[in-house]
C-alpha cells in the first residue's frame, strides 16, 4: 500500500541483527508465514544457503516493531537491490539474503506495509533514496496485541563488533568511498572481540539513562554531510547501547589505524546532556584528556604542552574576541592533525563552521596566520601538522580507551567512552582518573592532564588536627555531583529495567 504522508528523511536503515525468542514474536511470525504462504519461496535445492524466509520474516517484523515502539511515524529504509544483501559476509551473520526482498513484497501486497517508493535522482545533482516502509494500520493492530518490550529483543544478535574499513578511490582519484571489508581473524582480533563482547554484555545489563527526559528518545536534524536535513531518532534505551571498534586502512593498516569505540547513544548527544547521564540510577562524572592529540605529537619531541596550548597572545582576526579566536585556533589545529595539507585543513575548518559566518568567510591566508600564531608558541609542532596523522593518533587513544574499559569491565563497572573522555558513576571518579593516567603513561611515557567536565556542589569544611603543631583549623573542600530531578517517565523506565534484570536472573 503506497502512502504519500511518509517523511522520506525520517527513517533508519533496515537492521538485520534484530532477534528475539519471545513466544509472542514467534507466534506472530508463524501466523504470517502460514497466511502469506511464504513456504513457496523456500529454496528447493538441498544445498540451502543463508537464512530461511521465516527467519527473514522475523527479522523484518522485529525491525518494524522496534521502530513502531519508538515512534509510529518512523520508517525503515529498505533496499530492493539484490546486490545489497551479502549473505556470506561477517557483517551479516544471520545470513539475510536477497530473498528478504520477496518477503517484503509479500507483506506489502497483503496490505501489511505502508510504502513510499524509492527515488532515483538521475541528474546526479541531488540525492537518491531507497524505499521507505512502515507498518500499516493492519500490522499495527497486531503489534498492539504484543506485550514484548525493547528489553526482550536482542538488538545486535550475532552482530560483528570488530569492523575493518578501507577507502576506495575512483580511477581519476577525485572521489572516494569507504567500505566495511572482510578479513581473516587472528589472535589479536579474537582477543579484541572477546573483550568487546564482555563489555557489550555489561552495557546490556546496565541501566544508562537521562533522568530529565520524558521520552526514551529524541529527534535531531542532521546538519552536516550528505545526510544534511535528514531527521534521525536517537534512542537512549537498551536498543542503542551496542559498541563497535572500527579500524581504518584495510588489512595494510595492520590494526593500528583508528580502532576507536563507536556506538552507544552517549556519543550522539551534546556535551551538556552527557553531563546529566545517570548509570544505575547514580549521577556520573566525565573526565576529559586535555588536548590529547596535540600532546601525543608533542611528546614525541619530549615536550609537554601547557594546560591551554591554544590561546595566542595577539588578535589575528579583527573584531573577534580572544575566547572565540581560541576556539578557532583549537579547531584549526585539530583539523590540521588530520589533514594532508594546509589547504585541506582550511577547507575542513570552514566546512565544520557552516553556521558561523565569520569562520566561513575566513580566507586561506587568514587561517594560515592563525596557524602560524600557534607555531610561534609551539615551534616544534610545525613538523607534525598537515601530515595526515589523525588515524595513527586515534589508534593510540583507542588503546588507552581499551585498557581503561577492560579494567573496569573486569570489575563489572560500566565506563562510557567518548574517544578522549570517559563517563563513570561519580563514586568511581577518582579510580577512573587514576586508571586513565596509568594507561596513558604506560603507552606514551607521559602524563596528560585530565579535566572533570561536570558542574559540582562544593562544600568547605574546617578540619582541626590533633597532632602537636597542626592544631590550627584548615579549610578543606569536598565535591558532590549536582543531582537531576527525575521525571515520572524516567522512574518508569528505571523500574521496568530493574524488573527485567530480576526476571533475567531467574531464567
For residue 368, pLDDT over 60 is answered with yes
Mean pLDDT of 326-342: 96
For residue 141, pLDDT over 70 is answered with yes
Mean pLDDT of 318-335: 94
Of the spans 219-223, 395-399, 502-506, which averages the highest pLDDT? 395-399
- Say which residue, 153 or 42, is predicted with more confidence: 153
d(CA 199, CA 247) in angstroms, rounded, equals 18
- Say which residue, 410 or 3, is predicted with more confidence: 410
- Beta-strand relationship, 75-78 and 11-13: parallel
Return the pLDDT at 350: 95
End-to-end CA distance of the chain: give it in Å, rounded.
41
Of the spans 15-19, 350-354, 396-400, 445-449, which averages the highest pLDDT? 396-400
Mean pLDDT of 46-67: 88
Map residue 178 onto helix, strand or coil. Answer: strand
Mean pLDDT of 409-437: 97
User: CA 140: distance to chain centroid?
Assistant: 30
Spatial CB neighbours of 252, under 8 Å, sequence gap ≥ 6? none
Return the pLDDT at 227: 65
Mean pLDDT of 94-107: 94
CB distance 304 to 298 below 8 Å: yes
Q: What is the pTM of this model?
A: 0.90
CB distance 52 to 42 below 8 Å: yes
* Closest alpha carbon to 134 in 4, 16, 231: 4
- Classify residue 25 by its DSSP letter: H
Amino acid at each position: 500500500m503506497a502512502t504519500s504522508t511518509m517523511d522520506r528523511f525520517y527513517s533508519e536503515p533496515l537492521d538485520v541483527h534484530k532477534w528475539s525468542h519471545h513466544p509472542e514474536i514467534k507466534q506472530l511470525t508463524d501466523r504470517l508465514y502460514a497466511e502469506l504462504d511464504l513456504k513457496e519461496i523456500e529454496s528447493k535445492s538441498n544445498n540451502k544457503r543463508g537464512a530461511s524466509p521465516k527467519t527473514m520474516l522475523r527479522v523484518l517484523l522485529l525491525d518494524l516493531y522496534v521502530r513502531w515502539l519508538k515512534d509510529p511515524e518512523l520508517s525503515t529504509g529498505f533496499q530492493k537491490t539484490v546486490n545489497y544483501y551479502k549473505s556470506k559476509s561477517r557483517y551479516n551473520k544471520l545470513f539475510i539474503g536477497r530473498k528478504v526482498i520477496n518477503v517484503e513484497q509479500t507483506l506489502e501486497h497483503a496490505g501489511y506495509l505502508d510504502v513510499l517508493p524509492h527515488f532515483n535522482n538521475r541528474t546526479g545533482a541531488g540525492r537518491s533514496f531507497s524505499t521507505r516502509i512502515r507498518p500499516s494500520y493492519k500490522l499495527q493492530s497486531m503489534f498492539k496485541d504484543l506485550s514484548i518490550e525493547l528489553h526482550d529483543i536482542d538488538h545486535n544478535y550475532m552482530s560483528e563488533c570488530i569492523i575493518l574499513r578501507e577507502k576506495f578511490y575512483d580511477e581519476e582519484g577525485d572521489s572516494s568511498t569507504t567500505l566495511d571489508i572482510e578479513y581473516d581473524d587472528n589472535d589479536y582480533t579474537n582477543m579484541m572481540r572477546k573483550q568487546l563482547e564482555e563489555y557489550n554484555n555489561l552495557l546490556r545489563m546496565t541501566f544508562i539513562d537521562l533522568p530529565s527526559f520524558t521520552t526514551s528518545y529524541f529527534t535531531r536534524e542532521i546538519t552536516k554531510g550528505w545526510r544534511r536535513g535528514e531527521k534521525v531518532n536517537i534512542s537512549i534505551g537498551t536498543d542503542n547501547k551496542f559498541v563497535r571498534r572500527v579500524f581504518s586502512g584495510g588489512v595494510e593498516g595492520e590494526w593500528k589505524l583508528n580502532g576507536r569505540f563507536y556506538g552507544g547513544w552517549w556519543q550522539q548527544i551534546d556535551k551538556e546532556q552527557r553531563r546529566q547521564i545517570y548509570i544505575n540510577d547514580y549521577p556520573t562524572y566525565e573526565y576529559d584528556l586535555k588536548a590529547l592529540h596535540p600532546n601525543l605529537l608533542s611528546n614525541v619531541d619530549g615536550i609537554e604542552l601547557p594546560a591551554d596550548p591554544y590561546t595566542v597572545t595577539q588578535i589575528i582576526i579583527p573584531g573577534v574576541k580572544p575566547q572565540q579566536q581560541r576556539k578557532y585556533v583549537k579547531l584549526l589545529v585539530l583539523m590540521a592533525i588530520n589533514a594532508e595539507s594546509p589547504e585541506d585543513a582550511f577547507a575542513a575548518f570552514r566546512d565544520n563552521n557552516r553556521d558561523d559566518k565569520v569562520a566561513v568567510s575566513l580566507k586561506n591566508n587568514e587561517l594560515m596566520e592563525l596557524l602560524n600564531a600557534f607555531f610561534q608558541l609551539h615551534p616544534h609542532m610545525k613538523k607534525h601538522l598537515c601530515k595526515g596523522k589523525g588515524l595513527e593518533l586515534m589508534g593510540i587513544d583507542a588503546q588507552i580507551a581499551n585498557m581503561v574499559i577492560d579494567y573496569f569491565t573486569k570489575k563489572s563497572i560500566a565506563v562510557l567512552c567518548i574517544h578522549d573522555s570517559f563517563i563513570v558513576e561519580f563514586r568511581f571518579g577518582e579510580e577512573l582518573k587514576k586508571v586513565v593516567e596509568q594507561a596513558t603513561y604506560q603507552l606514551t611515557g607521559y602524563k596528560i592532564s585530565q579535566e572533570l567536565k561536570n558542574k559540582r556542589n562544593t562544600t568547605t569544611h574546617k578540619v582541626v588536627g590533633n597532632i602537636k603543631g597542626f592544631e590550627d583549623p584548615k579549610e578543606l573542600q569536598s565535591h558532590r555531583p549536582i543531582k537531576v530531578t527525575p521525571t515520572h517517565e524516567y522512574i518508569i523506565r528505571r523500574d521496568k529495567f530493574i524488573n527485567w534484570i530480576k526476571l533475567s536472573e531467574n531464567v
